[in-house]
Amino acid sequence: MVVFPNCKINLGLNILRKRADGFHDLETIFYPLPFCDALEIIPGESLQFIGSGIDVPGNPADNLCLQAYHLLKKDFPHLPPVQIHLFKNIPIGAGLGGGSADAAFTLKLLNDKFQLGIDEDALLQYAAVLGSDCAFFIRNTPCLATGRGEILEEIDLNLGNYSFLVVHPGIHINTGKAFGKIKPGVPAQPLRELDLKAVERWKDILVNDFEAVVFDEYPAIRAIKEKMYAEGAVFAAMSGSGSAVVGIFAKNKITGSLWEAGYRVFKKV
């Protein structure tokens, strides 16, 4: 069975405060986009993980897909060994949540394939153990996220009448280091109080707190955002802690040549 873990983008990202557990309280809007990896799980004689596509740094044994398997195996000892094949297409360290999506889709696929009977609430709890934004991919619908990103509230936000441009400049952002440079603070107006229907006003009201620290270190990422606006974007912002930048355009109005700079580009028209 093959599924296609998709990415997410952040629309606004406020870092509110550092918590006693070392994490940060935040608020953001997660929005799914169909920029995907491919994940296949089949029964095997022993547990095996095979990666292809974009190279994932680190020990393959620590891959989030395997962590998701082991997490379920603790509570479902009858879960058989499997062969997991992940084709990695979503860039690493881009702020697009690719690894979290892979983990969440592994949970869902194992649950469905082996009829474990885990309901959505329990899947959300498992996902939150694996990562702060993993839970989003269990629901995979526009959500206001709070806490460290695992507390989700579905919102009515449909951007189907717009086109999206996602540009990844090939820069890997260390999220932990980026958090360390942030000065947390509560905004004057919380995200839930903003008029999210007025997309043309987002440029003035949605802020990603990571942009200031990341743009200072990597001016090329700032330049991508500026070029998107110069080429007609209704809204442009870095996603998560970066380095991918997302531009929202009027339907079928993506123009320009950002992809000619050698960047990785994804378009949803």
- Alpha carbon distance 13, 191 (integer Å): 9
The CA–CA distances, whole Å, from 19 to 124, 145, 171, 215 equal 21, 16, 28, 25
- Alpha carbon distance 35, 7 (integer Å): 6
With beta carbons less than 8 A apart as the criterion, state whether 173 and 214 touch: yes
Please state whether beta strands 48-53 and 82-88 pair in parallel, antiparallel, or not at all (unpaired): parallel
With beta carbons less than 8 A apart as the criterion, state whether 162 and 249 touch: yes
Name the active-site residue from 37, 102, 133, 209. Answer: 133
Name the active-site residue from 8, 88, 108, 225. Answer: 8
With beta carbons less than 8 A apart as the criterion, state whether 264 and 90 touch: no
With beta carbons less than 8 A apart as the criterion, state whether 142 and 29 touch: yes
Quote the crossing angle between the two packed helices 120-130 and 98-113, to the nearest 10°: 140
Residue 249 bridge partners (DSSP): 163
- Alpha carbon distance 210, 194 (integer Å): 20
Catalytic: 8? yes
Q: Where are the alpha helices (DSSP H) in 50-160?
A: 64-75, 98-113, 120-130, 136-139
Rg (CA), the chain: 19
Catalytic: 133? yes
Q: Is the bond leading into 243 cis (omega within 30 degrees of zero)?
A: yes
Active-site residue list: 8, 133
